[in-house]
Structure 1
Amino acid sequence: MADFTNRRQITSVAQLTPIQAEQIALCGAAYDDEDLPADRRLSSDPEDESVLSFCELWDVVADQSPVYEAWFYQSDSGSIFLAGTTEMVAQIMQCGLECDDEERELELGAAMVRAGLLPSGDSEFERFCRAADETL
């Protein structure tokens, strides 16, 4: 069973490992199709259109080991990577989880429900609740 843990607000590249800096650049590219470095993505300049606002990073753990790194940004978007890599395995679009791997999607969706990260109005909320063995 996977769980979202260790939530942190990200406001500067100085907070990131080199892999996480690459991840945030990939998050931005997934969001707006622009190839910009992490420091531009996390710029404090309000005129910078590349800013990924409301940026936070979560660890997703199973059996107390990190499995994924989950980024949430722009209030309704996100990207999920295999821990310690730049391999994007899922995305958050308009607050909903998108994943090509059914088993992984159920694991992540159930973990998002348990963490309160998936809105109850999401079309997959009930399915992920069932996967998490939770009642509405």
Structure 2
Amino acid sequence: MADFTNRRQITSVTQLTPVQAEQLVLCGAAYDGEDLPADRRLSSDPEDESVLHFCEFWDVVADGSPVYEAWFYQADSGSIFLAGTTKMVAEIIQCGLECADKERELELGAAMVRASLLPSGDSSFERFRQVADATP
């Protein structure tokens, strides 16, 4: 069973490891197709359209060990990576979870429900809630 833990607001690249900074670059590219450095993605310039507003970073742990690292940004978007890597395994698009691996999707979806990160109006919410409720 996976759980979202250790939520952090990210406002500066100084908060990030080199791998996390690269994850942030990939988040931005997934969001808008632009290949921009991490510091541009976190710019405080209100005119900078490349900013990933409301940027949060979570650890996703299972059995006490980090399994995934999750980014949430722009209020309804996100990207989930294998922990410590730049391998993106899932995305959050308009608040909904998108994942090609169905087992991983159920694991992450149930964890999002438990952490109140998936809106109850999402079309997959009930399916993920049932998995979350069935997991000891």
Counterparts of 1:47 and 1:129, CA distance in 2: 40
| Structure 2 equivalent of residue 75 of structure 1 | 75
Deviations 1:77-121 (A, max 9, x none): 000000000000000000000000000000000000000000000
Pairs within 5 Å for 1:79-118: 79-118=79-118
| Structure 2 equivalent of residue 123 of structure 1 | 123
Give runs of ≥4 in structure 1 deviating > 2 Å: none
| Structure 1 equivalent of residue 33 of structure 2 | 33
Root mean square deviation of aligned Cα: 0.6
Count of equivalent residues: 134
Counterparts of 2:9 and 2:100, CA distance in 1: 28
Output the TM-score relative to the length of structure 1: 0.98
Counterparts of 1:48 and 1:133, CA distance in 2: 42
Aligned identity (percent) is 85
| Structure 2 equivalent of residue 133 of structure 1 | 133
Gaps of 5+ in 1: none
Deviations 1:7-55 (A, max 9, x none): 0000000000000000000000000000001010001111111000000
Q: What is the identity, as a one-letter code, of the residue corresponding to 1:101?
A: D
Output the TM-score relative to the length of structure 2: 0.98
Q: What is the identity, as a one-letter code, of the residue corresponding to 2:39?
A: D
